Amino acid sequence: MKRLLSLSLFVGCMVFAQLASAQTIAWFNPAKVLNNSKEGKKVLAKQKALQDQFEAERKKAEKPLEAEKDAIETEWKNLQSNANVLNEKEKARRFEAIKTKYDAWMEKVKKGQADLVKRQQDMAKEFQNVAEPFSKKLKVVAENLAKSKGYAFIIAHDPTNPQVLLFAKPEMEITTALIAALDAGR
């Protein structure tokens, strides 16, 4: 009985191995699909517009802080250059006024940095929202292509920057076919 179980387990493994080896695996380069398909180019353009908008907002928020910092630095330099003609009480008063301005400025900088982090998180969500419909469409197109060509698996792989899959046969690449199918809306 034990021998029969071992034999059937062995035969089962051999059949599974034979089926697995008969499966066709294709791959595509996700960066090429994104950069060369019509839909991918739209995603990249929308993401660039979001990035440009973020940069404009960041610069707009930083401009008054830069001006305020420059004014504080100028005031500090003036205090240093006039220090020998001011009495100790006046030096202390001016120093305290500069310190108060600097502390208030630092609070604005900290708030601005917190706002910037929040905006970056929001932008990451917006990036994802822009890319998600493309990813869903790509999955459907890849599934349709796999069914029509008899592929058991389609794997994303970038030959110039392999991360998980270290090698893939070049003749199994379907990037061009995937782009064509994606652009055709299939």
Asked if the model's pLDDT at residue 2 lies above 50, the reply is no
pLDDT tens-digit map of 97-108: 999 999 999 999
Q: What is the largest CA-CA distance in the chain?
A: 107
pLDDT tens-digit map of 125-138: 999 999 999 999 99
Task: Show the domains of the chain with their CATH numbers.
Answer: 22-184 (3.30.910.20)
Q: How far is the C-alpha of 32 from the C-alpha of 116, rounded, in Å? A: 32
Q: How far is the C-alpha of 136 from the C-alpha of 133, rounded, in Å? A: 5
Asked if the model's pLDDT at residue 40 lies above 90, the reply is yes
pLDDT confidence bin for 6, thresholds 50/70/90: very low
Contact 139, 39 (CB under 8 A): no
Other beta carbons within 10 angstroms of residue 158's beta carbon come to 15
Q: How far is the C-alpha of 154 from the C-alpha of 140, rounded, in Å? A: 12
Beta strand extents in the chain (DSSP E only): 25-28, 153-156
pLDDT confidence bin for 164, thresholds 50/70/90: low
What is the structure's pLDDT at 37?
A: 95
* pTM of the full structure: 0.68
